[in-house]
Structure 1
Amino acid sequence: MNNSTKDFSWVGSQEDFVDKPSVLQLNHILVGRYGGNSNAGQYKNEDGCLVWYNEKEDWEFVILLDAHYTSESTKIILEQFDKEENDIKDLLSLSANQQTFKKLEDKILNMFQSEEFLSVCREVKGETACLIVVRKDKYVWWFSVGDCILCLFHQELAALGQYQLNQRQFYEWIGQVNTFEQEVPCYTVGRRELRQGENHLFLTTDGLIECPNEPYSNSKDIYNVVNNMNDDESNIWSMLKNIRNNDVRDSTTIVSWKINISKVATIPSDQ
């Protein structure tokens, strides 16, 4: 962790949490980690995450990573964002408008497409899925390569059966196999207006949803857990212990937080 309490960065090779679920509270943000079960054959953790937030400027910036083969690809992405931290935080300090999110997208694309970064990627073993999520004012923006999941839980959306914002994309990575080496790089970018009231952003790697017996294979299953009467930390502990009890092998990393929005959200013209 950096000296600032508002910055957090972790790679599974630093501490693997195999057989040892953990939930860390960073102000209003929770980070849940479980490396998988050794009795199912797990012996390493290739996930990673980065969390920045600024309450005064009203934003959160989160990166979730799920690598395979080694955690080297996770490590080089976090190092790249560490180098560009000041520039990215300058963008996040701007007001929430279309140009701000466009500048952020351009910045990240320039980072991933730079010859220096591509050259480093060619030397690593393995590759990683990468989900970047920014919440600024009443908007959430995401940039996704691969199959990490972003959910937005709100009672109005749940009533219409909507829980998940992005779609998992398979055969997309950054690292030794790299989408940004293609003639046409493939990734997903999205923006979403948050609803008035309590919005719950929930990011997870695929260990949670691909657990044996599939207790959380559908984002609605996750919503049903986090929407109960228990506190958020207890709910994440419950999920991590449940996948441990179901002999999960793959590692799971969760980043979760709630935001209350006072501004009115878009509604149909006939309401």
Structure 2
Amino acid sequence: MQPTNVSLQFFCPRWGQEHETYDAFCRKVKEAGYDGIEAPVSFDANEREEQANALVKYNLLLIGQYYQSFEKDFAEHKSNYEKHLISLIQAKPVKIDSQTGKDYFSFEQNKELFDLAQKLSEEYNIPIAHETHRNKALFAAHTSKLILERLPGLPVTADFSHWCAVAETLLEDQEEATALACKHAIHIHARIGYEEGPQVNDPRAPEWQNALNAHLQWWDAIIANHQNTGAGAITITPEFGPWPYIPSVPYTKQPLSSQWDINVYMMRLLKKRYQ
């Protein structure tokens, strides 16, 4: 793909790097060439301060991440969802990635959560993107298509690796769903899924070329859509995860590849492709 005039920002996931202090993590992130980090924000005041100080020290941006959608009872779920979003908003991120809802909630229940996020997003002028994630409201291509058709303004984090695992395909037969999601996407999780799981062992390996190309085509469509509409910056988080996402040696859990190296590789690949 030819370089574009779309503004791109790259973020490093905190996921898998929690063993490091925020200062050490952010220093490494800055040196690698990222624009910021994507991370949850703790309710603990000391940890929040540590995170905030490191971001300022290394001049990094923050994408806040909500993933704590664990409650089965909807009323409790919605209450905690609001608490987490407000906590993230108080950290002044440029964007929030939200693993919103549940696959077993009704459309009306998940819509309540989407509506709450939209209200907070408009009130505080912080975009909130809802992730295409297993077990959440947007867990699969076919059901997400129905939701997006009914909610044409819903912002999405495109992580199609999950949809590949759910459908056990590279979504060749669900082109309408992926095309619609690409039009809704304002944030990308650049992980490569395949027919049997949400993360290949190493996207640099030739046996995963078809899976890599499928995801690149989706990301190309997202970038092209933003180029055509003149929308704001596209944010991209290479999000290959640690164990148990990353294939590992039995018993020792020793990873077969380096999560850090793969995510840096993905960032550089996409920078070269789009810039």
When normalised by structure 2's length, the TM-score is 0.34
